[in-house]
Amino acid sequence: MLFNSVGYLLFLPVTVALYYLLPGRWRCVFLLAASYFFYLIWRVEFVLVLISATLVSYFVALKMGQIPKKKQRLKYLVFSLVINLGMLVFFKYLGFFTDIVNQIAGITGGSSVIPYYSILLPIGISFYTFQTIGYTLDVYRGVLKPEKNIGIYALFVSFFPLVLGGPIERGRRLIPQFHINHDFDPALITGGLRLILWGMFKKIVIADRLSIYVQPVFNEPGYFNGIAIVLVVMLKMMQVYADFSGYTDIAIGSARLMGIKLNPNFNRPFSAQSISAFWSRWHISLTSWLRDYVYFSLPFKYHGKIVKWRMNLNLVITFVLVGFWHGPYWNFLIFGLLHGFYMIMANISRPFMSDFNRISGLTKAPRLLQGLNITATFLLVCFSAFFFGQHQLRDSFMMIGNLTDFSHPGKVIIPLLKNNDFLLGILLIIFMLWFEYLIAKKSFALKFLNKPLYLRFTAYLIMVFFLLVFGVFSSQNFFYLQF
């Protein structure tokens, strides 16, 4: 059941209404049943994997909670990691590793070939696996007590707004909310509906419209060059952002209708002035998870001293995992490696750039410096978009090779300037970035909420009108559901 489907528009209000009509002690039971029903619609087999991940992490955490010494808890943590990561590797990465082994065997003249049968990837497994692993690691570290109510814990893993595509929540923040009897709050209802409407707008009106121009180039890269590739790569990042942040807005808004608060996953990433700042604003739940559970768990010392090369190596390892998390493709590995390289170069060049900015006088023009930093960061991110997708790696290099061919740019630019649909897409991108800038300003939100009801209702109707008139209703999957 997709968020952008008629089925969900029926499922959500019925679920919310029954949630508030039921007595408090039955609400979580009902939400758990609704969440499993929501997930069950995809495939029955997927639920079995979800239940397995839930039961393993639940009982392992209970056992670790009974053991006072951290060293003695380690074997149970390892068991949980082996099972949960094992399921993720089996369903998502087995084909990738099998293919590598077979290729090596072919190169070395080996005759044995490992057979591999295509396995259907359970939807959302990358998200809920990280959620269960984060929970068991918190219990192991002693920062979280294990949840004894198996129903509450199962709801934490399977809660329908986030089970398919996040955000990746932490147990210490989400589980306590399921113990609270949330009262019906009109402010939360209207706030949740606003987020859902805005998320639908970004997905259906902007992201799905941009995909019309992005997908043909990535599907047939040999037919395009120069300015077409430059434009499409920029639009690709905007499409992915509108798609995934739209999904997140709908997820957060849906949970808010029931009084549940989920963490934000985006914070205006295209206003970032560095790659580091970009990743603190983009897919926040994933990058913060890898930061807390991977980056800071890696060794920083060499012969007892903290050394920069260790820190840089840890950055590369972390960002390779960022890329590999997205999918078992060489494209994603290079995408992660490229961002790790960006981070290292930023660390190395920081003192030189500081001197350059001072000598060139840019420090005396902070607005100009800010604009240059934002532009440079955006261009670096856009370049990495060549490798962000499930297309063939050779297609990525083909597009990069064709990038410098600017012969006959008028054949691309003039038709686009005459294409009202394309121009509308550009205007919608500008509107999205401008509107989210306004939303980030608390003063704007307060002014809007203090407006008379008829003005606010009119604004919502205008948004719905644009959604219905300019939306691309092709029932396209959300981009991140493939992960």
List the catalytic residues: 326
Instruction: Answer whether 1's CB lies under 8 Å from 11's CB.
Output: yes
Q: Quick one: CA dihedral 49, 50, 56, 57, positive or negative?
A: positive
Tokens for 354, please give them.
């500081």
**CA 323 to mean position of chain CA atoms:** 12
User: Helices 330-360 and 366-384, interaxial angle, to 10°?
Assistant: 160
Rama region for 419: left / alpha / beta (φ>0; ψ in -120 to 50; rest):
beta
Tokens for 194, please give them.
């606003």
Q: Which of 385, 420, 3, 39 is nearest to 202 (CA)?
A: 3
Rounded Cα distance between 116 and 380, Å, is 37
* The 3-state secondary structure of 317-376, one letter per residue: HHHHHHHHHHCCCHHHHHHHHHHHHHHHHHHHHHHHHHHHHHHHCHHHCHHHHHHHHHHH
Q: Which of 293, 203, 250 is nearest to 475 (CA)?
A: 203
Instruction: Cis check for the bond before 351: say yes or no (omega within 30 of 0).
Output: no
Rounded Cα distance between 187 and 204, Å, is 26
Determine the 3-state secondary structure of 301 from DSSP: strand
Instruction: Answer whether 344's CB lies under 8 Å from 312's CB.
Output: yes
- 286-312 in b/e form (b: 16+ CB < 10 A) is bbbbbeeeebeeeeeeeeeeeeeeeeb
**Alpha carbon separation from 257 to 19, 185, 456, 478 (Å, rounded):** 10, 8, 19, 22
Tokens for 173, please give them.
């923040």
Q: Which residues sit opposite 301 in a β-bridge?
A: 306
- 213-238 in b/e form (b: 16+ CB < 10 A) is bbbebbeebeebbbbbbebbbbbbbb
